[in-house]
Amino acid sequence: MVETGGIAADALRSYIERIERLEEEKKALADDIKDIYGEAKSTGFDVKVIRQIVRLRKMDENDRNEQEALLDLYTHALGMIRG
């Protein structure tokens, strides 16, 4: 192990290379997701709504219920009655 200024250069290089590989994979996945949204749009689906649904499905059920309750409260307060 080569140390320069107290830093293990081989270990540092390994970390950086692993991060770079993962960043490449992340970009490829992001491109794939973008393509899927494009497919959905081309078949007539509203991509903004699909994104909202994906975001809601990631949320914990309690958090989602709380957010929906607050949205209802705020829209009622503004006279924008929901559901």
Question: What are the pLDDT digits (tens) for 8-54?
Answer: 889 999 999 999 999 999 999 999 999 999 999 999 999 999 999 99
Residue 72's nearest CA partner among 63, 81, 62, 60 is 81
What integer pLDDT is reported at residue 21 of this predicted model? 98
Q: Which two tokens stand for residue 16?
A: 């950086």
- Confidence (pTM): 0.72
CB 81 within 8 A of CB 75: yes
**Domain boundaries defined on the chain:** 1-45, 46-83
Residues 6+ apart with CB under 8 A from 35: none
